[in-house]
Amino acid sequence: MHQDTIGTVMITQEEINAKAAEIGQQIEKDFAGEEVVLIGILRGAVLWMGDIMKNVNLDMVIDFMAVSSYGASTKSSGVVKINKDLDTNISGKNVIIVEDIVDSGTTLNYLKAYLQNHDAKCVKICTLLDKPEGRRVDIDVDYIGFTVDDRFIVGYGLDFDQKYRNLPYITYLEQE
């Protein structure tokens, strides 16, 4: 029987907590006195969304979108599908997309345009992880937790075939 193998811990929960506090302060500064709409992208952003929202002391509304690009493969298909749309009117609002990882950039490139087309005042991106070597579409990322190298990352919301999202740290899948 095939067994997936998980690598060593790359980023601990403590490091992620500290980074969320740092980025939270930056967001408070950047949007001082204003209201923000945080949009978490299901399912990968589930833990990081919680970390960011509790570290940002501003008037805030949260919402979620669900999109998928990978399916059950470790390679991006380049296709973005909306599985759950926004429930919030973001017209004239400061929107911050909260993501777990920017890899090819396909998902965020699509989402940023989508939210701008819904007349957001501004659309910023806050990602836990950035994998620059994966990039196929140029995209400006405003808040980045950690930069990772070109491995298949799992844990802390990130899955392989829907597994490992519950790991309380960032690690990677060993691939033959």
Q: Which residue has the tokens 């570290």?
A: 55
Active site residue 103: yes
Asked whether position 130 contacts ligand PRP by CB under 6 A, the answer is no
69 or 88: whose CB is closer to ligand PRP? 69
DSSP letter at 141 equals -
Scanning 21-29, 99-107, 142-150, 166-174 for contacts with ligand PRP by CB under 6 A, the matching segment is: 99-107
Asked whether position 127 contacts ligand PRP by CB under 6 A, the answer is no
51 or 100: whose CB is closer to ligand PRP? 100
Asked whether position 105 contacts Mn ion by CB under 5 A, the answer is no
Residue 9: what residue type?
A: V
Asked whether position 100 contacts Mg ion by CB under 5 A, the answer is no
Which residues is 42 bridged to in the sheet?
66
How big is the chain by its Cα radius of gyration, in Å? 16
Residues 6 or more apart in contact with residue 62 via CB below 8 angstroms:
37, 38, 39, 40, 49, 53
Q: In what order do the strands lie in the sheet with 143-147?
A: 81-84, 59-68, 35-42, 94-102, 122-130, 143-147
Give the residue, chosen from 44, 51, 98, 129, that forms a contact with ligand PRP under the rule CB under 6 A.
44
Scanning 2-10, 13-21, 39-47, 55-63 for contacts with ligand PRP by CB under 6 A, the matching segment is: 39-47
Give Dmax over CA atoms of the chain in angstroms: 57
A 10 A CB-CB count for 10 gives 19
Interaction pattern, residues 34-73, with Mn ion; x per rule: CB under 5 A: ----------x-----------------------------
Asked whether position 70 contacts Mg ion by CB under 5 A, the answer is yes
Catalytic position from the list 4, 63, 100, 103? 103
A 10 A CB-CB count for 33 gives 6
The residues assigned a catalytic role are: 103
Q: Which residues bind Mn ion (CB under 5 A)?
A: 44
Which residues form the interface with ligand PRP (CB under 6 A)?
41, 43-44, 68-70, 76, 99-107, 159
